[in-house]
Amino acid sequence: MTKDEVGDSPTTACINCGKCSQVCPGRVLPSKLAKFAENGNEEAFLEYNGMECCECGCCSFICPAKRPLTQEIKSMRKMQLAKRRKK
């Protein structure tokens, strides 16, 4: 391969296929967590165990909609960890 075919693919809306949840070793719901992170809903992110994500990238890899699930979750986790350090 001469170029990044996945990176060049356009992102589309979630089709609710559930593949991300099936491959998640942390048994969280990546599509929901990414949506909470995208909308800045910290309370729901924590309620759905967003801090349990190990950021392995399996969900982003398997997603047929090519959504950046891991990146969204990672950004919210960073914000939460920073808040914990401040306390």
Q: Is 80 exposed, middle or buried (0-12, 13-18, 19+ CB in 10 A)?
A: middle
pTM: 0.86
- Cα–Cα distance, 55 to 27 (Å, whole number): 12
Q: What end-to-end distance do the CA atoms of the chain give, in Å?
A: 48
Tell me the per-residue pLDDT of 4-41, one tens digit each, with 9 for 90 and over.
Answer: 665 666 788 999 999 999 999 999 999 999 999 999 99
Q: Report the pLDDT value the prediction gives residue 32, as an integer from 0 to 100.
A: 97
Q: Report the pLDDT value the prediction gives residue 30, as an integer from 0 to 100.
A: 97
